[in-house]
Amino acid sequence: MALTDHPPEKVLGPVADLLIDDASPTTQGACLDALERLGAVANLRDVRTDGWFEHLGEQIANFRTVCDVMGDRFLAYSMILGIQIHSLATDPNLPANTTVEFSVGDDAIQTLTMGEYRVRVVQAIMQQEPPLLDPILPLSPESAVDLLGQTLVLLAPLFGLSLKHLVLASTDQDDPRALVGFVSEHGFSFMGLKDFDTFVKQKVRRDLAGTQQEPFRLDLSVVEHARAAAAREDHDEVIAILESWPGLLVTLQRTPVLHQLDDAQLALIAEALEILGNAFRHRDRATWAEELYRLGLVFVREGVHAGRLFFRLGELLTEDERYGEAIGHLRRAQVLGVEEREVFPVLGRAFLKRQKLVPAAALLETAVAKGADSRDLTDDLAQIRKELERAGVDWNVPVCDSEPPGPK
């Protein structure tokens, strides 16, 4: 029986997985052919935007001069975000004093230094969430652009990534999935759409490195105020206090100032980024929170504050169903001293979702014994019992018993 004789929901996932796992042209060609017959492939030849920035520049007066001051990609980011640049005031003696006058839509004109402007633009790009997938067959090029999002379609060519195909890998409304086929300097390859979005945005983030020409000072005393606001669950106040820190800290990584900071200062920076990341999570901006936790781990890799960042990152990744990645971070958090009653419920859930039922049961039971108590924990233990019973395994998983589970 041909693959196309099976229901699409039975075929899409396994064939799409082959596209990623087997990079041979023969296999990929056969997979694309089968998926095209199911209407699950959109060819992006007529909608991709290779060279859009250069073509647009041909129509703009003083384009090259503006690029020389702002940087090509920062001007491109501004265009993608719909920012209108009104003027640039350069200081030939101190380039860091260059200022940008700009506006967005009908908003009032703002003025920032070039360093502050670049940080603001990159933050705006990073905070954009990918569009929600609507897994409908057949997939048209126009629908493919909607799934990718116009921002990603415009960003990719800036880094030499030429979009070729979008492949619908699942029609499950609760768990939609798509793959992007693209050409880079390394050749033709496929990547999950979410991973591709992260991959491109990481390149955007790296553009900030080395753009700040003058060292600066962080007012570490504000961490105490942010800590107090977090204790009051005043997330807007936390963001107001610390929102300028990420851009400054990204730049700090590339300056000699970083190596002059002592352990106490690094600990305050790590704590501030955890607090700020938590505030953004409460505002449903998980992508930005993840960036902040990872930024904190640039400054501290050992000690209690690093443990807190690893824990928060593992917690967030678990919520995002990236269980394999989460497990490593959560284990590291435990090693660095985060309490087991905090770590084990999340780590146990990550193992459960990967169908590692025995370690999941042990971790969750230990969490109960250590004093952890939540509805999610109880539900996860109940699911483990159900899964084991379904598999015909007689296993003792008492929800409230502190003894580790084991076979009878």
Domain boundaries, the chain: 1-211, 222-390
pTM assigned to the model: 0.51
pLDDT in tens, the chain (408 residues): 345 555 666 667 777 777 777 667 787 788 788 888 888 888 898 888 899 999 998 888 889 988 888 889 999 999 999 999 999 988 665 566 688 999 998 889 999 888 889 889 999 998 888 777 666 778 888 888 888 889 999 999 999 999 999 888 877 777 778 889 899 888 888 888 888 998 999 899 888 765 544 444 578 889 999 999 999 999 999 999 998 888 888 777 766 667 778 888 899 999 999 999 999 999 999 989 999 999 999 999 899 999 999 999 999 999 989 998 999 999 999 999 999 888 899 898 888 888 888 888 888 888 888 887 777 888 888 888 888 777 766 666 444 443 444 433
In Å, what is the CA distance from 173 to each residue of 170, 177, 193?
8, 9, 16
Q: What is the distance between the alpha carbons of residues 223 and 124, in angstroms, rounded to a whole number?
A: 24
Element (DSSP H or E) covering residue 187: strand 187-192
Q: What is the distance between the alpha carbons of residues 236 and 285, in angstroms, rounded to a whole number?
A: 13
CATH superfamily of 222-390: Tetratricopeptide repeat domain (1.25.40.10)
Residue whose structure tokens are 């820190």 = 245
Other beta carbons within 10 Å of 115: 22
